[in-house]
Structures are given as C-alpha cells and as structure tokens.
C-alpha cells in the first residue's frame, strides 16, 4: 500500500509509480490519438465535413456513463474498505485472545504460551498467503501439534491452524488449567477468527459480475471511439487531445476500480497485510511471553525470530 501525505498537493502530481494509470495507459492513449488524428484529417480534408456539431449526444451519454462509473468505483471501494475493516478486526481479535490466554494461564506454563504465540502469528500469516493463493511456509513456525510439512500438505492452512489452536484449548480445559466459563470465552474468540476468514474469502471469490464488467468496458470503448465524430466540426484538430484526455479519465477510473475491488493482492493500492501481520506477531509475543523476542527484521523477512 502506498503511503503518502494527503496535505501535499503538487508533489504527487509530478510523481509516478508503477500503478500510475498514466504510465499504464500511455501506449493506448497514443493509439487513440493516432486514430482520432486520422478520423479528423479525413473528415476535415478528404470529406470537407461541415455538418452541424453533434456534441449533445455525447454530452447526454457522458452523463449516463458518469453515473455508471460512480456506482462502479463506489462498489469497488466498499469491497476495499470492508477488507480493511476485517483485517482491523483480525488485529483486535488476535490481541484479545492473547490477552485472555495470558490471564487464564499461570505464569509457570511456558509451553502453552509459546504454542499460542506461534500459532496465532501462524494463523495470520497463513490467512495472508491463503488470500493470495499461496501460503509462504517460511513465514510460519513449527509447533508441538503442527509441523511445517503438515501445513504444506493442507488445502486450507488457516483452518488447520485454527483446529490446532482449538485442540490446545480443549486440552488445557481437560487438564484443569482453564475453567468451563473460560473455555466458552475462548470458543467465541476462535469463532471470530473463522468468521473473518469466511468474510475475506467472500470478498475475494465474488468479483463484480462479468456481464457488468464487460458492459462497462464496451460502453467506454464505444463512447471514446465515436467522440471524434461528434467533436470534429466544433474543435477541429483540438479533438485529438480532447479525446485522449477523456479516454484517460474514463479508463483510469475503471482500472482503479478493478485494482481495489480485490484488496488482498500485492498491488500498490492493496491492503498492507505484511505490515499488519508483523504487528500482530509482535503484539501477541509481547503479551504472552512477557517480553519482545522478535528481531527487528528488515522488510520482507518478518518471520525472523530470536532464540528465547
């Protein structure tokens, strides 16, 4: 996710990044410019077109197109924001379950604390990889009940880790380390983890309907390709930059919507899940192990841990 200062106006205008739509659309804009130039030349010179301007048609269609694009961008942003709220809830739930386990367990029980510190962090990193279609096992750690080899064979790694966490909670209950009331409390925490995973999967696996997406692309294409016919008699050769600018604005809105409607990817505007995962890992270990045993790892290697 790109971090920026919203109070600065002029610097972002001249800056370009890999997801900047101008960089992506520049070749297409050149093609549209050449097409418009050819149509304009033929209309003004070969055909000597002097018909009355038809910009009213495109003005009317532009109003309709603008309303459709607003709906498109709003629906995409709603998906992005819902994903952000879910990961914010994951941060809070991870801290909450760590705090409760820390309160329920005696300080002398070190092994269960280490297990939960590793497993909660594993769950978060596994969810991040699951939403990106590939779990990075190097970000995970072995626990007493689950090895990396077993996790690598799982089809749904977050579910396997959640099952392991719940199994450990049941074991603590049977060993009389936690009471029945405490078991119920922790049961609700595990359920909240599963609810977050299901909600994230719903966003990822339910894109904008195909027919709607295709309609938008066709509408923008037809509108842009017919613009020279309506603008030539009014703007002459100024039609070329006007059409290129309109094409850039309309397609940019569609590209931005396509990028943010799946907030769990690795695009520049997607959620900073690496940063949030590392934050959860730090917080959980600090709560359960009474000290920060994490190495201040460089970005890209958040799984490095010092020996306790």
| Domain spans in the chain, listed from the N-terminal domain onward | 18-50+210-260, 88-206+275-289
Q: Which of 11-15, 160-164, 182-186, 260-264 has the lowest mean pLDDT?
A: 11-15
Q: What is the DSSP letter of 163?
A: H
Kindly state the tokens that stand for 155.
């089809």
Helices (H), 175-272: 180-205, 210-235, 239-260
Tens digits of residue pLDDT in 166-189:
999 999 999 888 888 989 999 888
- The helix (H) or strand (E) run that includes residue 90 is helix 55-104
pTM score: 0.79
Closest by CA to 201, choosing from 120, 130, 137, 125, is: 130
pLDDT at position 4, please? Answer: 52
Decide: helix, strand or coil at residue 305: strand
Decide: helix, strand or coil at residue 270: coil
Closest by CA to 32, choosing from 223, 205, 183, is: 223
Tens digits of residue pLDDT in 18-66:
557 777 888 888 999 999 899 888 887 777 666 555 677 777 888 888 8
Tens digits of residue pLDDT in 118-153:
999 999 999 999 999 888 888 898 888 888 888 888
């Amino acid at each position: 996710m790109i971090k920026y200062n919203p109070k600065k106006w002029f610097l972002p205008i001249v800056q370009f990044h890999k997801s900047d739509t101008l960089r992506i659309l520049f070749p297409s804009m050149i093609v549209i410019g050449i097409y418009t130039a050819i149509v304009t030349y033929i209309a003004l010179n070969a055909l000597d077109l002097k018909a009355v301007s038809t910009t009213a048609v495109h003005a009317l269609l532009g109003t309709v197109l603008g309303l459709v694009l607003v709906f498109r961008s709003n629906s995409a942003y709603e998906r992005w924001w819902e994903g952000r709220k879910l990961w914010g809830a994951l941060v809070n739930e991870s801290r909450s379950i760590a705090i409760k386990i820390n309160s329920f367990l005696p300080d002398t029980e070190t092994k269960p604390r280490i297990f939960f510190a590793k497993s909660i962090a594993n769950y978060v990193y596994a969810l991040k990889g699951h939403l990106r279609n590939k779990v990075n096992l190097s970000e995970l750690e072995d626990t007493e009940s689950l090895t990396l080899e077993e996790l690598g064979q799982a089809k749904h790694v977050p579910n396997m880790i959640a099952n392991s966490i719940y199994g450990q909670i049941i074991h603590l209950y049977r060993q009389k380390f936690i009471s029945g009331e405490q078991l119920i409390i922790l049961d609700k925490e595990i359920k909240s983890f599963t609810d977050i995973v299901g909600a994230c999967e719903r966003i990822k696996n339910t894109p904008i309907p195909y027919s709607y997406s295709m309609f938008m692309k066709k509408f923008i294409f037809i509108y842009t390709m017919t613009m020279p016919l309506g603008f030539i008699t009014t703007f002459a050769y100024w039609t070329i930059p006007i059409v290129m600018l309109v094409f850039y604005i309309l397609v940019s809105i569609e590209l931005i919507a396509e990028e943010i409607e799946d907030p769990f990817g690795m695009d520049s505007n997607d959620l900073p899940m690496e940063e949030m995962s590392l934050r959860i890992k730090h917080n959980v270990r600090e709560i359960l192990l009474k000290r920060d045993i994490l190495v201040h790892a460089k970005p890209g290697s958040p799984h490095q841990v010092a020996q306790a």
